[in-house]
């Protein structure tokens, strides 16, 4: 069987590009296609000399206008991957194009915020630039949805990320956050952008999700690890895009004409975490306490530290928690630690001892006792069941939407 030489032009430092490449790999492993894949060894996209490359086909990220321009006169079959466009004339001509459906991404995020009980909405985007066309398309989608409901579309682009402008960027983000009506649901165009805004909220003392419910796009595990409060995110169908792009190119390599083919791939769903589990508390002390707990529960904080942060006595704080949440401050701290532990165990990336340490349990034995009491099983059993998809949270602690 003939082997084909295929170039993949992506910047795999981005989660979206990595997922597309994973989809291409999944297609190859499930078919008889034999491809020799050419990527830069550091997974960065470098265009110089691509016109002289002697290969059989290319799959490339056309969100980068430089890539689209460089491949305009390609002598080998090309399949483009990128974002969808409101204006049909914006798509490249005579090139099969596999797109993430930007409108459905934003609609899914906004629908989730509506279901969480929010009535005000905003978007955190990126500065206008050719390489950020996909972000501007998401703005168009957000504006259209808001206009349809006769609501004001609060859109903020802010500054790009760079060391010289970092402090100014954060200050401007905080000013924008203070200017918004509260509570507000904010859609960030990426998880990376959401992470920045989350940090600005924390620095400004703005409670997430009571005052600002925040959702990103990409479901990037690195962004989740870098946020103190677990970040909700829309899961793009990037792997399906990769599989589709590989299938189209495979067809072209066998003589099938695909010129002008367009495929829009919808999002997979939403990974719902604490940043959008909005439930407006009746008392501001409870809101401040939960905001503090979300950030520091896994550092082993105690009830008296939460009370000190809020600025009231421990007994008063306990009374407010009993009235509003029907549980103690310790219950909420423990529930958050337990949720963090079950999430880590389900991913299977760390040992039980490491999970206990990361989640603020004083010892493996204590975490074992908590799991037995609250979930009716040991951490090891929970992990084994999670791997099989049969976990059952039978906890008697307050539900996650209260503890989160």
- Where are any strands of DSSP class E within 19-158? 35-38, 57-61, 78-83, 97-100, 121-124, 154-156
Q: DSSP letters along 123-191, please?
A: EE-----GGGHHHHHHHHHHHHHHHHTT---EEE--PPP-GGGHHHHHHHHHHHHHHS-SSEEEEESSH
- Is the same domain home to 210 and 111? yes
Average pLDDT on 106-129 reads: 94
- Eight-state DSSP code of residue 369: H
Percent of the chain with pLDDT over 90: 63
pLDDT bucket at 396, cuts 50 / 70 / 90: very low
Q: List the CATH number of the domain containing 292.
A: 1.10.10.60
pLDDT of residue 390: 63
Q: Which residue has the tokens 């983000």?
A: 173
Contact 172, 158 (CB under 8 A): yes
Other CB atoms within 10 A of residue 151 CB:
12
pLDDT of residue 45: 65
- Is the same domain home to 324 and 368? yes
Convert the pLDDT of each residue in 312-344 to its tens digit: 999 999 999 998 889 999 999 999 999 889 988
CA 294/CA 214 separation, integer angstroms: 14
Whether residue 394 is contained in a domain is answered as no
Whether residue 306 is contained in a domain is answered as yes
Find which of 97-106, 269-278, 353-362 is predicted with most confidence, using mean pLDDT.
Answer: 97-106
Whether residue 200 is contained in a domain is answered as yes
- Is the same domain home to 90 and 125? no
CA 218/CA 19 separation, integer angstroms: 10
Whether residue 64 is contained in a domain is answered as yes
pLDDT of residue 73: 77
Strand partners, 234: 217, 270
Q: Tell me: pLDDT of 183 over 60.
A: yes
Tokens of 329: 């401050």
Convert the pLDDT of each residue in 250-289 to its tens digit: 999 998 988 889 999 999 999 999 999 887 666 888 888 8
Domain count, the chain: 3
CA 271/CA 279 separation, integer angstroms: 18
- Is the same domain home to 36 and 95? yes
Q: Tell me: pLDDT of 389 over 80.
A: no
CA 116/CA 312 separation, integer angstroms: 29
Q: Which residue has the tokens 């896994």?
A: 298
- Is the same domain home to 95 and 144? no
pLDDT bucket at 399, cuts 50 / 70 / 90: very low
The torsion angle over the Cα atoms of residues 192, 137, 180 and 157, rounded to 10 degrees, is 60
Q: List the CATH number of the domain containing 8.
A: 3.40.50.2300
Task: Share the mean pLDDT of the chain.
Answer: 89
Whether residue 290 is contained in a domain is answered as yes
Q: Closest Cα to residue 136, out of 89, 98, 102?
A: 102
CA 192/CA 222 separation, integer angstroms: 9
Expressed as residue numbers, the domain containing 312 is 284-388
Convert the pLDDT of each residue in 9-43 to its tens digit: 998 888 999 999 999 999 999 998 899 998 877 66
Contact 22, 236 (CB under 8 A): no
pLDDT of residue 54: 81
Strand partners, 36: 5
pLDDT of residue 170: 94
pLDDT bucket at 391, cuts 50 / 70 / 90: low
């Amino acid at each position: 069987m003939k082997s084909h030489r295929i170039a993949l032009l992506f910047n795999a430092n981005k989660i979206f590009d990595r997922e597309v490449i994973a989809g291409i790999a999944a297609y190859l492993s499930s078919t008889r296609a034999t491809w020799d894949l050419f990527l830069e060894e550091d997974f960065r996209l470098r265009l110089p000399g691509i016109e002289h490359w002697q290969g059989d086909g290319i799959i490339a990220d056309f969100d980068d206008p430089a890539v689209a321009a460089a491949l305009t006169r390609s002598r080998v079959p090309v399949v483009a991957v990128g974002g969808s466009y409101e204006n049909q004339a914006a798509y490249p001509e005579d090139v099969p194009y596999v797109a993430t459906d930007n409108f459905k991404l934003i609609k899914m995020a906004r629908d989730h915020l509506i279901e969480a009980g929010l009535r005000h909405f905003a978007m955190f985007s990126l500065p206008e630039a050719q390489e950020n066309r996909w972000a501007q398309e998401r703005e168009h989608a957000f504006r259209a949805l808001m206009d349809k409901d006769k609501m004001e579309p609060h859109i903020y682009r802010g500054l790009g990320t760079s060391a010289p402008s970092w402090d100014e960027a954060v200050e401007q983000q905080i000013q924008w956050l203070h200017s918004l009506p509260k509570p507000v649901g904010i859609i960030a165009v990426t998880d990376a952008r959401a992470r920045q805004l989350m940090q600005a909220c924390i620095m400004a003392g703005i409670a997430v999700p009571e005052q600002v419910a925040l959702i990103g796009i990409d479901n990037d595990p690195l962004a989740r690890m870098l946020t103190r409060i677990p970040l909700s995110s829309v899961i793009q169908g990037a792997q399906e895009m990769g599989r589709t792009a590989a299938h189209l190119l495979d067809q072209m390599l066998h003589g099938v004409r695909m010129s002008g083919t367009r495929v829009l791939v919808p999002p997979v769903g939403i990974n719902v975490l604490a940043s959008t589990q909005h439930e407006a508390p009746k008392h501001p002390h409870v809101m401040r306490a939960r905001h503090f707990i979300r950030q520091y529960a896994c550092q082993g904080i105690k009830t008296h530290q939460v009370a000190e942060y809020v600025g009231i006595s421990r007994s008063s704080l306990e009374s407010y928690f009993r009235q509003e949440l029907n549980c103690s401050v310790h219950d909420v701290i423990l529930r958050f630690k337990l949720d963090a532990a079950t999430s880590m165990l389900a991913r299977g990336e760390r040992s039980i001892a490491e999970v206990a340490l990361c989640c603020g349990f004083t010892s493996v034995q204590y975490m074992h006792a908590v799991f037995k009491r609250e979930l009716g099983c040991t951490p090891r059993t929970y992990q084994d069941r999670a791997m099989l998809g049969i976990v059952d949270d039978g906890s008697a602690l307050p539900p996650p939407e209260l503890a989160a």
